Amino acid sequence: GVTSNGTFAAYINNTTSANVGLEADPNFNGTVSDISVRLTDPDRSVNGKGLVVQGTIARTPVAPGAELMGYSGFSASNYLEQPYNPDLDFGTGDFCVMGWAKVSDTTVQYLLDRTDPTGATEGFGIALNPSDMLLTKNNNNVLSVPHGSAFNSWGFFCFSRNNGKTTGFINGASVGSIDDFNNYSILSGPLMVGRSAERRGTVAFYRGSIALLRIGATAPTPEQIAKIYRDEKKLFQPGAACTLYGDSDAVTALAHDDTKGLDLVGTSDGLSRFDG
C-alpha cells in the first residue's frame, strides 16, 4: 500500500509467534529503511490499530480484585500514541469520544490530543481544569462542561456531536451543548493519550487514570449514553469480573437465561456468565 515517500505504520496482531516477517511485493520499486518494532496496546475495535507505548505506562485494576484495568503514570515522555489514522478524520460529521477517568489533581491537563506534528493544527482534544472538562480545537475551547467532583473517583465522560450539535455528558447525564460545525479532520498527526502535543514548548500531561477509552464516527443517543454509564459502572466495583473464563477467546456457544437475566458464553475452556 506504499505509493509515496514518507513514514508509514503497520499494525500486526502477533500473539502466537515471536517472529515477524517483512516481504516486498514483486512490483515494489523503492527502498525501505529505519524499521522499528514497538510494543503497542491493542485496539479492541474491528479496526485493530493499536497505540504505541511511549516510555512506560502502568496498568492496574480499577478496584481491588477487579479485572478491568486502568492506565496511569502519564508524563511528557510516558504516554500512548497512535500514528496518523484517517479513521479519526471526522470532518464536520458525527462523532463521539468517551471513557472513564479518575484524577485528584485537576490543574489544566490533557487526557488526549490529536494534533499535527508541528502542534499548530489540532483535530480535537479532551482536557480537564479544576471545574470543567473541555473539548478543544486548535487549543481553543469548543465546549466546556462542569464536572464537579465526578472524577475524584472513577467517573464517566462523553462528548458527542450529532447533526451539528455537540453535547457533553458526565456520568451519563447531559451537562452542556453547543452548535458545532468545526472540521475535526487534520492532514496528518498522531493521537496521543495521556498528554497534549507540544505547543510553545509546553506539554500538558494527564495526572490521573483512564479506562475504557473509545472514539467513534457515530453519535449515540442520550438514552444509549446513559445506559452505557449504568452498565459500565458495575465494572469499577471491587472484585468485578468482566473477562471470559480460561485462556480461549473463541466463542463456541451463546445463550440467555431469562430466569436470572444472565448472558451465557461458552468457549473450549468452559462457561462464563455475564450480568448486564
Band the pLDDT of 17: cuts 50, 70, 90.
low
Place of cell 499548530: 120
pLDDT value at 89 more than 70:
yes
Range name among 17-26, 121-130, 133-142, 234-243 with the lowest pLDDT average? 17-26
Rounded to two decimals, the pTM is 0.85
Q: Is the pLDDT of residue 260 over 90?
A: yes
Going from the C-alpha of 112 to that of each of 137, 164, 241, the distances in angstroms are 12, 22, 27
**Integer CA distances (angstroms), 164 to 85, 95, 97, 175, 206, in order:** 23, 10, 15, 17, 29
CA-to-CA separations, 254 to 118, 244, 259, 262, 267, in angstroms, rounded = 49, 12, 16, 11, 9
